[in-house]
Structure formats: structure tokens, C-alpha cells
Amino acid sequence: MQGLNVTEKGITYLWECLSLYTGACAYMLLYVAALIYICIYGSRREKEVFVPCSVFLLVTVYNPVAPLILDRIFDVNSEYYRFFWVTPVLILIPYLATVLITRRQTGRQRLIVTGLLVLTVMFSGRFVYTDGFRLAENIYKMPQEMIEVSELIHKDSGNEYAKAFLEYEYNMQMRQYDPKMLLTIDREDYLDAVSMPYTEEMLNDEAHPEYRLLALLVRNQPVEKDEFTQALEDTKTEYVVVNSDHPKINYLKSAGLKVVNKTDSNTIFKYELSEPYEFELVDYSVVY
């Protein structure tokens, strides 16, 4: 879970992890309420199915000490919340709701209970598409413009593989659609760039020339033009795709990159490498 660390939080980690997990949803509380109902009014079988596992969950997954112990073996900081998936919320709550509805004697009673349950859900949950949903633009479920960018780069490149620096969303999606597009920046480096600025030491790190590209194009930090183009050389990056209203458009032009094409909202720049780079797959036929 982002921002939560077992070592820092200690035994409060579990509570904070659970708070983030449930967010504004009250389903965990409903689960506890449903469990209490089963304990009081449930049949023997209902108790056998739902109560012992919940007690075991309480002493294992929901034990504040459990993440501290597990963290000594695995790094559970970002993934402990998945243990909450084991809780049969999705079985017990719908089960009890069904019992409450179907065991009413008359249709009127069933309607009232259903209405009350609908109200409970409205106040307990958050609809998955509260912020609206976006229909896929094509069968690939990728932005159409990204597909256009891919086609334009390959058309210009002439090589089987092309290497590019892309804006964030395209960088995360391009290779799902087009594995012949090599990317300069990997996912973790991009995520780091979005979340923190680059220090002088990082910008001077010869082993990571991509930091200079990210510093300039993601964080808008100052980078000398020759250092930027050297970073393109070092990473063998031929294409840079940025939004057409990116603040560094003029910088890229003055650094010697040429606009080879444009889409509705993106500009595709090309940098002429001093030595042409052609990516080749490793030949495993020599191994066997």
C-alpha cells in the first residue's frame, strides 16, 4: 500500500492498512454485523460455515502483530491488504441479505426489507463507476491516438524496431499494443519521476542517462541541451513523443530534434543518432 510502511507504523500498520482498504465503504462493518447476527440467530450450519473462519481470521490476518512478523520474511508493505480478500465479505453479506429478504412472509415485507437493504448499500458502498466510465475507443481498448503514434513512428523509422520516449500514459500502454516499440523508460523509473524531483547527483549519474530525460520532460527541471542530447545518444532514443502543448517543445526544437509528425494532441520528434541503432533479438540458435 502506497505510503504505508510496516516498520514505521508498527502495530498501527494493520489499522491504517484496513482504513485504506475499506476507504469510504462500510462493508467490513456490515460483515461484522452480519457475523453477530449469525452468532445470535444463525442455524448450526450457518455458524459452522461463517464463525470459525472469522475467528481464525481475527487471530491471523487481523492480528496487528501479523504484518510485523511477516515483514521479516517478505516485504509485505505494499501487499498486505490482499490478505483481507480472504474474508468472505462477498459471501456472508449477500447471504444474509438474501435470508432477510426471502424469509419475509408477505410481498410487502419483502419489498420493505429490500428497500432498507438498498439504502444500506447506498450508504455503505461506492459505485465502481461513480466518476463515470469510459467506453473503449477500439477493440484493443487502447487510445486511438496512441495507435496512430505507433503507426507514424514505424512508418518513419523503416526499421523493424523503433525506440522512443513517450508521455506517461502511452509509455504504460504502448508495448501492450506494439511490442516492436522499444521504450527508453521503464515503469518504475517513470513512477519515480512523477513522484519526486531529481537531485544534482542523480542528474550527473552516468549510469542513468534516462534521469536527464525524465527530469526535463516529466519534471520540467533544467537540463543543459548537450546533456539532454547526450542522454538520447546514450539511451539510443530516436523518437520523443510529447503533448503538443508541452512547455519544452521549443527546447526540443532548439536541441536539434525535428518534428516528423503530429497527431491531434501529440508531437512526434526525431533525433538523429550519431550512429544508427538497429535492435536485434538475441540469437538463441547458437546456444542449441
3-state secondary structure of 284: helix
Residue closer to another protein by CB (options 177, 251) is 177
Q: Classify residue 57 as exposed, middle or buried by CB count within 10 Å of its CB (0-12, 13-18, 19+).
A: middle
Residue closer to another protein by CB (options 191, 259) is 191
H/E stretch holding 182: strand 181-183
Q: How far is the CB of 250 from another protein (least distance, A)?
A: 28
Cα angle 73, 76, 79; round to 5 = 145
Residue closer to another protein by CB (options 180, 246) is 180
Q: How far is the CB of 211 from another protein (least distance, A)?
A: 15
Q: What's the rounded Cα separation, in Å, for the pair 266 and 145?
A: 8
Residue closer to another protein by CB (options 107, 222) is 107
Residue type, 107: G
Q: How far is the CB of 125 from another protein (least distance, A)?
A: 3
- Strands in 181-183's sheet, in edge-to-edge order, are 181-183, 162-165, 239-243, 266-270, 258-262
Residue closer to another protein by CB (options 73, 222) is 73
Q: How far is the CB of 253 from another protein (least distance, A)?
A: 26
Q: How far is the CB of 82 from another protein (least distance, A)?
A: 6
